[in-house]
Amino acid sequence: MAFRTFCDNKDCRKEMMPVIDRDTNEVFCTECGLAVNTVSDFMKRQMVQLNQVRRDDRRQLAYSVKCSKCNKEGPPILDEKGKELLCSYCKEQMVNISKPFAEVLKANLTRKAV
């Protein structure tokens, strides 16, 4: 059974199932997203045992690649000629992609454009 408590933040004060961040050992409200300070160490250990932990909010897109220039992650795009892969955020050429993977990306991107 999941642990439930009330948020101690002034603007929220709602009942919710908090989640714990395993790295920082902080508890967060699932309603407002802010840290909750009224949870004891015993309950923090119980939350970890119940797997009531904070998950990564980032969503993976198909063929996502991290840009070496702007450090953002997303699917690349093709240039106007259809020969080079560009970052979808900064529009710079993607140089950190292996040639076989680049060919797969180009094939899939041209298929979507048609």
Residue 27 has pLDDT above 90, yes or no: yes
Q: Where in the chain is the domain with CATH 2.20.25?
A: 5-49
5-49: CATH architecture: Single Sheet (2.20)
Confidence at residue 44, expressed as pLDDT on a 0 to 100 scale: 93
Three-point CA angle 86, 88, 94, nearest 5°: 30
Residue 19 has pLDDT above 90, yes or no: yes
Confidence at residue 59, expressed as pLDDT on a 0 to 100 scale: 59
How large a percentage of the chain has pLDDT more than 70? 92
For residue 77, give the 3-state DSSP assignment: strand
CA distance 41 to 51: 15
Determine the distance from the C-alpha atom of residue 14 to the mean position of all C-alpha atoms in its chain, rounded to a whole number.
25
DSSP state of 109: H
Confidence at residue 73, expressed as pLDDT on a 0 to 100 scale: 86
Confidence at residue 95, expressed as pLDDT on a 0 to 100 scale: 87
pLDDT digits (tens, 9 = 90+) for 55-109: 865 556 778 888 989 888 888 999 888 889 999 889 999 888 999 999 998 888 8
